Structure 1
């Protein structure tokens, strides 16, 4: 692995474990047993590292994880894939979601990239919801679509921050991410058609089981 990639991966791990605000470039260099000068050869500052991390996040989510609606994948399967993608990416980059407004305020380039990526994510969610409606899995009026998309994105983006404000022990483990997925299913349940309700409840039971297993092993 190249030094630049090692810096990115080490930064993600340290930011997740200790919180981005508590980690400096010197900490990252020491963790990798390299000189600060070597780190600065690849990145100008910590904000530059975070921007590169977000670019990796965007590639991971949009190109590899977040499913596209297609004839080959059933709409309900696409929903499950979407929830898995959200859970996996938020888990890997959880530090980013814990301190999002501050990170965006400190880094205009990051904000610009973030807004661009979020527009693409919103469009993907919109396509998924329309496919679910076409397959008669959920039902909603056209004027509700934008609000449903926004609510789902709110859960995806701010669930971790909300959770951390509701507990004395500021720890984020796998069970927290499965809770977030369950919140998405709660939002979708009132829109679910009678013929599809059983399948959606199966998905809910699956993630409830994952949540309980993660909670027991925490």
Structure 2
């Protein structure tokens, strides 16, 4: 694995575990056993690393949006898709959790996050439009927008709970519980005759 990927992988882990404000480039270089110059060859600073990770996250969301229609053809396909989406949110949870740290004073990061958030909203809207297309929803269009926004906020908030647990079994359980909450949010609006 090249040093750039090693820096990104370790930084993602450290940012998720400790928060971006508590990680330094010195810590990254020390843990990777590379020189600071090697890190600075790829990234000018910690913010550049964060920017690259936000872009990776955005690209992954865009791939999910593209693959969505092939993966979700019935109502039963939603929970597994939601679980994979929650897992992706969890993989890059520092972005959602440390938003203020990321965007204050960093216009590029703010733009990147804004694009990412719009990608998430577009994917979420597409999921609800698809439920509507399947005639599975019994809700007015205007209320559907609120439901979509609320589900996204719940997903982001739920993923942030991962910061409070330390092992992978608990992470998996929290992600499954998050999917259950999202399904429960939509359940009252499902068309029982579909």
TM-score under structure 2 length normalisation: 0.85
Match of 1:178 in 2: 176
Q: Which 5+ residue runs of structure 2 have no aligned equivalent?
A: none
Equivalent residue, structure 2, for 1:119: 118
Q: What residue in structure 1 maps to residue 59 of structure 2?
A: 59
Q: Give the 5 Å matches for 1:5-16.
A: 5-16=5-16
Aligned residue number for residue 36 of structure 2: 36
CA 1:183–1:67: 2 relative to 1, 3 Å: farther
State how 1:70-81 maps to structure 2 within 5 Å.
73-81=72-80
Q: Distance in 1 between matches of 2:72 and 2:146?
A: 25
- TM-aligned CA distance change 1:62 to 1:27, over 3 Å: same
Count of matched residue pairs: 190
Alignment correspondent of 2:104: 105
Runs of 5+ unmatched residues, structure 1 = 197-218
Q: What do residues 153-175 of structure 1 show as CA deviations (whole Å, max 9, x unaligned)?
A: 111222234x37xxxx9325222
The separation in 2 between residues aligned to 1:84 and 1:8, in whole angstroms, is 24
Is contact 1:140–1:191 with CA below 8 Å preserved after alignment? yes
Greater Cα offset, 142-151 or 169-178: 169-178
Which residue is equivalent to 1:187?
A: 185
Structure with bigger RCO (C-alpha 8 Å, 6+ apart): 2
Q: Which moved more, 1:181-190 or 1:81-90?
A: 81-90
SS at match of 1:79: helix
Between the aligned partners of 2:153 and 2:92, the Cα distance in structure 1 is 17
Structure 2 match to 1:150: 149
Secondary structure of the corresponding residue to residue 69 of structure 1: helix
- 2:18 and 2:106 map into 1 onto residues whose CA distance is 21
1:106 to partner: Cα distance = 4.1
Give the structure-1-normalised TM-score.
0.77
Following superposition, the deviation at residue 81 of structure 1 comes to: 4.5
**What secondary structure sits across from 1:177 in the alignment?**
helix
Counterpart residue number, 1:27: 27
